[in-house]
Structure 1
Amino acid sequence: MKNLILLSLFVFVSLAGCTSSNEENNLGFEAIESSNLKKEFIFDEVIDYDLIDADIKIRGANITFRGKNIINSKIQIKNDGSFTFDNEEITIKGNLFQMNANGLICFTDKNITLKTDYETITHKSEWCYHKADLPVTMIFFKSSKQGNNIQLKWATATEENSDFFEVQRSFDMINWETIDRVKAAGNSNTRKDYSFLDDKIPEVSRVVYHRLKQVDLDGASMFYGPVAVKMGSTEEEVTIYPNPVAFGKNLKVVSTYDHMKVRIFDVSGRTYYNETILSNLTSIPMNYGKGVLFVEVQNGAVKTTKKIIVH
């Protein structure tokens, strides 16, 4: 359970048509303002409001969070600082938590339920977690289309008491099927490279997701991923869906790149989201407003822009 909670915090998804000159009509967008908090905490403090599009740094302070939502936010915990969840139900989506070796993520004893991008977790006891609680240090995990198959590759920098990796497949990121196991290194302080070919994929023309369930020798486990590949005959390098997307729901971006820069903006050029994603898949909560937006996906000099509708 410890490892599953850490993963959910640290893990970092109808096709959209490209825009053309004759589509430059009815491009209005009604923005909904967010808290957009940018702050460095050096003293203990209680946050009793939601964090949306926030960028906060915690340096040696103990921060207690009593809001209900943390959306599209970056939280850095440094210099023996801590971030404590203290509400019975908290939704955390599209966030990046970073902490150094002395940072802590903590939970009070309120039987807390965390609703993350991919999991719902209930934590029933008062406890704190260090970065060192992660049993495997993952360097990368990626997938690529190989004809009608999907090649998975991943590498670890260190492993401690790791038993095996369970490879799982899904078509909706809700229902997951275990398709095989790959033996892990056990204990290692050197880089280990792994690969797996999923050659039993049903004939589909949609996005196929994979994730890894890493299991320790003591039965504890955590998840890595998901990663995604768009199957079928399409040659598109970027897939964005659903489109239209409902306000508050996740917009998914899947590409053929190992990493990508994703920007979301309106017809006036105002930017609502601008992040570098170190994988080929991201899931972005659409909490910016309703109307027409543009999603720009860039990898090096290659740039793709598509129009989406939020309703």
Structure 2
Amino acid sequence: MSKFLSIIILLSFCLPSFAQTQFEPLVSSYNSVKDWQNKDNWKAITKTASTLGYPSQRDIITIPTSSNLNTFYINFDLDKISTQMSFNYRKALKFDLGHNGRATFIFYQQTPSGITFNVSGALNVVGDLTLSGSQTTMLVDGQVATSGNLNFTSSAFKLTIGENGHVLVNKSFNATNGGTSTIHNYGNFHILGNFNSSQGDSYYVYKNATLNIDGALITTGGGGSDYYIYGDLSVEEDYTRIGGDEMTIYEDGFVRINGNVFSQNGGGGVFFISGDLYVQQSMTLRGGEKITIDDNGLFELRGDLYLSCSNALTVHYKGQFIFPDESQCIILDDQCYESSSNLKLCERIEAADLPIELSYFYGTQEEDGNLLQWQTLTEINCSHYNIEYSDDNRNWTFIGRVQGQGNVNTTTNYSYLDSTAAGDYYRLVQFDFDGKSTVYGPVIFNDPNEQLNVSLYPNIVSAGSTITIVVDGSTANDAVIATLISSNGQVIKEKVLSVNIEGGYVTSFKIPEIKSKGLSFIKVFNSKNNIFFKVLIQ
């Protein structure tokens, strides 16, 4: 990709002056240099005919409205002939660059409706690529690089990036079309500038796919856009929501915003988090937004939270909501009535401490029932634990209660025996004295697949902090081990999580004090399974 970009940047400067001839293609497919240089395959439509009889140097390829062609197909290295040509079509057409195709063009702004770009090879665009016709489709299984902006300026465009597809935009991506447009990303989409979206658009980042925005993510218009994140979304600057955006982060999804989050115009909006959402700086919410953190979800806000008095923020969480002690929850209004739900939320966040530090939680099958055991290292304002069971990991039933220790900073061991062996899944619900609760687990009994299932949180940590690891499906006489590995493959730490535990459990893994920071990996494995997680050490 860097090779393509360097070509584009070079061509963005002053080019040598050559006479330009416009050529109309007379055939739809060009599979070789020989096909391209065949004069019978071209028609010169300007007064000064090229001495070569085919497009080269800085010539212009034009497909007029009178053309009978519906497809323009290139499946060879056209850059060997020229990297300075322009392309202009004035009718609906399929531009098709095959697997063996490589081409560099300056594209005229395209206005016809129903245009399709199908890129399986490598396409370099000098300057901006602006597609103004409605119902434009771009399919990328190869590589597309622009030295300028990528602009979609009409409605109902569709961009699909395949698993092997790479799109690099050297400036900004602009979807200023009034909505109803869609991006399906199964590969890699990298924008060096801003990502500008209009209301009503939908963006999908699928599992193992990445959307990297080196600038800001900005949504304009009152209706908001929808973001469905199964893979990785990274925004280096701010995320500005001018409207009711809805962002859904699925279980394997990871969203990192290194700047601030601003929600404006009272548009509301939704964050539904089953994966991980990490915000490095502050979050300002003015529109009565709704944040839901599912059982497996994690939301970590490293900066301050700013709320208005009148537009109530709704937060529902079963997963992890991490708000550091040094951060503040701030009401923006000068005066706020005492019954304001946002004021109460701020008071709750400001007063909150971690209720317990859990060392482990696991279950074993005994002759007289299912035995649950857990250990805490510290407890703060811990009232009690409710034990719940489920047959489907969705609907939970209370079966017992164990008293907590209040405030202690020493190790405490707990156990609970379900003599009825009623459930396949068990979890702890820890309650503070003020009624606030935190869920731990579940642990699993009777897993017929012997499949090791592991989750961990948080995955953005500092040296010396602790990660919680949830393990399901461990078997007797089969050790489960966690290994911390640096980005260059060096093993930093290894810990045996369990040796003879059957079923599921929750345990901890402490990140050692290390000098090297950045991306690392945690590998959790037994004799039959290897599971890798990305961890960012700050």
TM, length-normalised to structure 1: 0.52
Once residues 147 and 130 of structure 1 are traced to their aligned partners in structure 2, the CA distance between those partners, rounded to angstroms, is: 46
Q: Residue 376 of structure 2 aligns with which residue?
A: 156
Q: Of the candidates 294, 302, 311, which is equivalent to residue 116 of structure 1?
A: 294
Task: Give 1 or 2: higher strand fraction.
Answer: 1
Q: Of the candidates 354, 377, 395, which is equivalent to residue 175 of structure 1?
A: 395
The 3-state SS of whatever aligns with 2:435 is coil
1:210, 1:227 within 8 Å by CA — same for their partners in 2?
yes
1:174-206 Cα deviation digits (max 9, x unpaired): 32111111111211223322222222224xxxx
1:146-192 Cα deviation digits (max 9, x unpaired): 34622212222322111101111111223211111111121122332
Q: Residue 424 of structure 2 aligns with which residue?
A: 208
Q: Residue 73 of structure 2 aligns with which residue?
A: none
Amino acid at match of 1:219: G
2:379, 2:408 within 8 Å by CA — same for their partners in 1?
yes
Alpha-carbon spacing, 1:172–1:139, altered in 2? closer, same or farther (3 Å): same
1:116-164 Cα deviation digits (max 9, x unpaired): 2479x94363867589643222233222323462221222232211110
1:208: how far off? 0.9
Matched, 1:53 2:231: yes
The 3-state SS of whatever aligns with 2:363 is strand
Once residues 157 and 108 of structure 1 are traced to their aligned partners in structure 2, the CA distance between those partners, rounded to angstroms, is: 39
Amino acid at match of 2:526: G
Alpha-carbon spacing, 1:117–1:182, altered in 2? closer, same or farther (3 Å): closer
The 3-state SS of whatever aligns with 1:238 is coil
Once residues 188 and 84 of structure 1 are traced to their aligned partners in structure 2, the CA distance between those partners, rounded to angstroms, is: 40
Once residues 281 and 83 of structure 1 are traced to their aligned partners in structure 2, the CA distance between those partners, rounded to angstroms, is: 36
Q: Residue 302 of structure 1 aligns with which residue?
A: 528
Q: How does 1:192-231 map to 2 (within 5 A)?
A: 192-202=412-422, 208-230=424-446
The 3-state SS of whatever aligns with 2:429 is strand
Amino acid at match of 2:254: K
Once residues 192 and 116 of structure 1 are traced to their aligned partners in structure 2, the CA distance between those partners, rounded to angstroms, is: 28
Report the number of matched residues.
Answer: 219
1:92, 1:117 within 8 Å by CA — same for their partners in 2?
no
Q: Residue 92 of structure 2 aligns with which residue?
A: none
2:238, 2:261 within 8 Å by CA — same for their partners in 1?
yes
Give the aligned CA root-mean-square deviation in angstroms. 4.7
Q: Residue 256 of structure 1 aligns with which residue?
A: 474
Comparing 135-144 with 154-163, greater Cα deviation is found at 135-144
The 3-state SS of whatever aligns with 2:395 is coil
Matched, 1:37 2:210: yes
Q: Residue 248 of structure 2 aligns with which residue?
A: 69
Once residues 209 and 115 of structure 1 are traced to their aligned partners in structure 2, the CA distance between those partners, rounded to angstroms, is: 20
- Unpaired runs of at least 5, structure 1: 1-29, 241-252, 262-276, 283-296, 305-311
Which protein is bigger by CA-based radius of gyration?
Answer: 2
Q: Residue 286 of structure 1 aligns with which residue?
A: none
Once residues 158 and 84 of structure 1 are traced to their aligned partners in structure 2, the CA distance between those partners, rounded to angstroms, is: 36
Amino acid at match of 1:168: E
1:263-293 Cα deviation digits (max 9, x unpaired): xxxxxxxxxxxxxx999489xxxxxxxxxxx
2:246, 2:269 within 8 Å by CA — same for their partners in 1?
no
Once residues 256 and 431 of structure 2 are traced to their aligned partners in structure 1, the CA distance between those partners, rounded to angstroms, is: 28
Q: Residue 61 of structure 2 aligns with which residue?
A: none
Matched, 1:92 2:312: no
1:105: how far off? 7.1
1:49-82 Cα deviation digits (max 9, x unpaired): 3332115487xx664573331122234678xx66
- Unpaired runs of at least 5, structure 2: 1-161, 164-183, 187-203, 220-224, 298-312, 316-340, 454-470, 483-496, 507-522, 531-538
Q: Residue 451 of structure 2 aligns with which residue?
A: 238
Q: Of the candidates 319, 331, 342, which is equivalent to residue 125 of structure 1?
A: 342
The 3-state SS of whatever aligns with 1:186 is strand
Once residues 190 and 105 of structure 1 are traced to their aligned partners in structure 2, the CA distance between those partners, rounded to angstroms, is: 36
Alpha-carbon spacing, 1:69–1:187, altered in 2? closer, same or farther (3 Å): same
Amino acid at match of 1:125: N
1:285-307 Cα deviation digits (max 9, x unpaired): xxxxxxxxxxxx97333349xxx
1:137, 1:156 within 8 Å by CA — same for their partners in 2?
yes
Alpha-carbon spacing, 1:112–1:227, altered in 2? closer, same or farther (3 Å): same
Q: Residue 25 of structure 1 aligns with which residue?
A: none
1:111: how far off? 4.8
Once residues 189 and 213 of structure 1 are traced to their aligned partners in structure 2, the CA distance between those partners, rounded to angstroms, is: 20
Matched, 1:140 2:360: yes
Q: Residue 289 of structure 1 aligns with which residue?
A: none
Amino acid at match of 1:237: E
1:73-92 Cα deviation digits (max 9, x unpaired): 234678xx666788534432
Once residues 237 and 195 of structure 1 are traced to their aligned partners in structure 2, the CA distance between those partners, rounded to angstroms, is: 25
Alpha-carbon spacing, 1:164–1:44, altered in 2? closer, same or farther (3 Å): farther
Matched, 1:188 2:408: yes
Identity %: 22
Once residues 440 and 368 of structure 2 are traced to their aligned partners in structure 1, the CA distance between those partners, rounded to angstroms, is: 24
Alpha-carbon spacing, 1:298–1:164, altered in 2? closer, same or farther (3 Å): closer
Alpha-carbon spacing, 1:145–1:300, altered in 2? closer, same or farther (3 Å): same
Alpha-carbon spacing, 1:163–1:91, altered in 2? closer, same or farther (3 Å): same
